[in-house]
Amino acid sequence: MTKGKSLIEREAEWTGSSESISYQPTKGIFIGLLSFCAFIIIVAGFFFWYIPSVGLVNIHPALPVIFGAALAATSIAILIGAVGLSFAIVKGRDMFLSYKFRGVLIKFFLPLIMMIGGLLRIQKIKIEQAFIEINNQLVKGMGKKFKPERILILMPHCIQYIDCKIKVTQNVRNCVGCGKCEIGELVGLSDEFTIDLFISTGGTIARRKVYEKRPNVIVAVACERDLTSGIQDAYPLPVLAVVNKRPQGYCIGTGVDVASVRNAIRELLR
């Protein structure tokens, strides 16, 4: 971001950066990895049953059947989770049990998909983008609406214009809205919808703010990596995530599409 340039000028210059790729989530990557994970788990489950069952029969003839039934039940549960999640991803909004599928996705499949994606050398950011998109879809699919005072907007500090001397992390209302970064517009959004806006200097501060305010839902802006870990940390609290812009790379002079934040808020308000 060039010093002193207006937001409009910077928008026109936005071409992405060498450190980031444009936000183009491909849910197909996630569904493919999800199916692959389910397949691997079921094959591994079979061998996990077959190999010890040879020894188990010597202890008691019924043990291989009992052990096999337990493993089959686990495999079926995993399969139902994977199929249900894929269905939720493909179907889009208003999905039955969206809330439960979000839990299965975050707690079980995401760590596994990250691991298998790493082994298959799939770009981590691509998986994160797909995950964020699916998470947002499932949060919207919950169909819940919230009062403004139960919503928290969380922004990273790197969104502030680098040479701005005003301290907005203590009190965002200190911003005078000079237009050199989006914070002024976001304060306007916060006033318009009477929703708390917090500029965080890091994950620990953000967690403390969430602990103090105890919101029912969060609208968060950050890079894919921070959003992914933030969504995991905040679970079961729902998070609608908006990926930031990074014309200068990560953590410096970042930006946000204010219209996307506005749309996210509108989705949540009753």
CA distance 32 to 130: 11
Nearer to ligand SF4, 79 or 258 (CB): 258
**Chain residues 245-264 in contact with ligand SF4, contact rule CB under 6 A:** none
Location of structure tokens 């992405």: 16
Nearer to ligand SF4, 171 or 229 (CB): 171
Q: Quick one: which of 16, 118, 143, 177 contacts ligand SF4 (CB under 6 A)? A: 177
Give the three-state DSSP class for 19. coil
C-alpha closest to that of 203 among 185, 180, 220: 220
> Interface with ligand SF4 includes 161 (CB under 6 A)?
yes
Q: Answer yes or no whether residue 164 interacts with ligand SF4 by CB under 6 A.
A: yes
**Taken in order 7, 11, 14, 20, is the CA torsion positive or negative?**
positive
Q: What is the three-class DSSP state of 152?
A: strand
Tell me the residue type at 183: I
Q: Which stretch binds ligand SF4 (CB under 6 A): 12-20, 130-138, 177-185, 254-262?
A: 177-185
Inter-residue contact 114 to 124 (CB < 8 Å) = yes
Site for ligand SF4 contains 168 (CB under 6 A): yes
CA distance 111 to 62: 35
Strand partners, 203: none
DSSP 109: I
Distance in angstroms (rounded) separating the CA atoms of residues 64 and 46: 12
Q: Does 160 bind ligand SF4 (CB under 6 A)?
A: yes
- Per-residue contact flags (x/-) with ligand SF4 for residues 12 to 51, judged by CB under 6 A: ----------------------------------------
Q: Is 22 helix (H, G, I), strand (E, B) or coil?
A: coil
- Answer for which of 181, 206, 210, 223 binds ligand SF4 (CB under 6 A) is 181
User: Residue from 44, 73, 120, 178 that binds ligand SF4 (CB under 6 A)?
Assistant: 178
221 lies in the binding site for ligand SF4 (CB under 6 A): no
Q: Determine, following the binding rule CB under 6 A, whether residue 158 of this chain makes contact with ligand SF4.
A: no
Q: Is 180 in the site for ligand SF4 (CB under 6 A)?
A: yes
Q: How many CA atoms lie within 13 A of 167 on its CB side?
A: 2
Q: Does 52 bind ligand SF4 (CB under 6 A)?
A: no
- Point out which span in 119-127, 147-155, 162-170, 215-223 binds ligand SF4 (CB under 6 A): 162-170
Residues within the interface to ligand SF4 (CB under 6 A): 160-161, 164, 166, 168, 175-178, 180-181, 183-184
